[in-house]
Amino acid sequence: MRRLGRRALLPLRVIGLVLVLALGLAACGDDEKAAPFSGTVLENPFQVPDTTLTDTDGEPFSLTADTDRRLTLVFFGYVNCADICPAVLTNLASALTRLDQADRDDVQVVLVTSDPDTDTPKTLRTYLDRFDESFIGLSGDWDSISTVAKALAVGLDRKDPGGHTTQVLGVDSADEAGVFWSADTSPSQYADDIHTLLQES
């Protein structure tokens, strides 16, 4: 049975419309205090598949059935990634420290390995603990990981674990990925956007 958070997050496509209207009103009022939204809101969100993967405890984990926060940030990466992956995970970890406790409690970060042939549950857990012990690590067989990646428009290459797209996807409680952030998004940008998404729900 699918677990829900304390409050359901509005579909991100609805939030996208709200953001567009809010930014337009801010521009009309010359409101310089409103932080610009740094992520890209999708007009047609990706539907997250109910494919079962495996967490670092060896337990089944689905991005639809087992995500119990209002906003889940999903990133594909791997342990032996030399640059982009640690940079993104460092920025996400730093972003979480910038949130107040109410927002922090409504967000979780999930890393899905793009190198399941090498990354074991133990190495994934050790790797993620370097950034934040609350981060969830997922692995599985190649076909299952590819199914999830394809549904989220993440291109994977089994022969080159680093040859994949590096966006961070925001998944809401309706199991839709309606927003994404580029790999160079800063901690403050993540934090501002997360707060905006949660407040607009």
Q: Which CATH number covers residue 119?
A: 3.40.30.10
For the whole model, what pTM was predicted? 0.84
In-domain check, residue 97: yes
* Apex 91 CA angle, 89 and 97, nearest 5: 105
Residue 168 exposed, middle or buried by CB count within 10 Å (0-12, 13-18, 19+): buried
- For residue 157, the model assigns a pLDDT of 82
In-domain check, residue 17: yes
Low-confidence spans in the chain with pLDDT less than 70: 1-34, 162-164, 201
Tokens linked to 135: 């981060």
Q: How many residues does the chain have?
A: 201
* Residue pair 68/3 in contact by the 8 Å Cβ criterion: yes
In-domain check, residue 139: yes
Q: How far is CA 56 from CA 4, 95, 169, in A?
A: 22, 23, 21
- For residue 31, the model assigns a pLDDT of 47
Domain coverage including residue 186: 12-199
Other CB atoms within 10 Å distance of the CB of residue 199: 9
- For residue 12, the model assigns a pLDDT of 54
Domain count, the chain: 1
Looking at residue 62, what DSSP letter applies? E
Dihedral of CA atoms 192, 19, 8, 138 in degrees, nearest 10, equals -60
In-domain check, residue 102: yes
- For residue 145, the model assigns a pLDDT of 95
- Residue 45, C-beta contacts closer than 8 angstroms, at least 6 positions apart: 11, 12, 13, 176, 177, 178
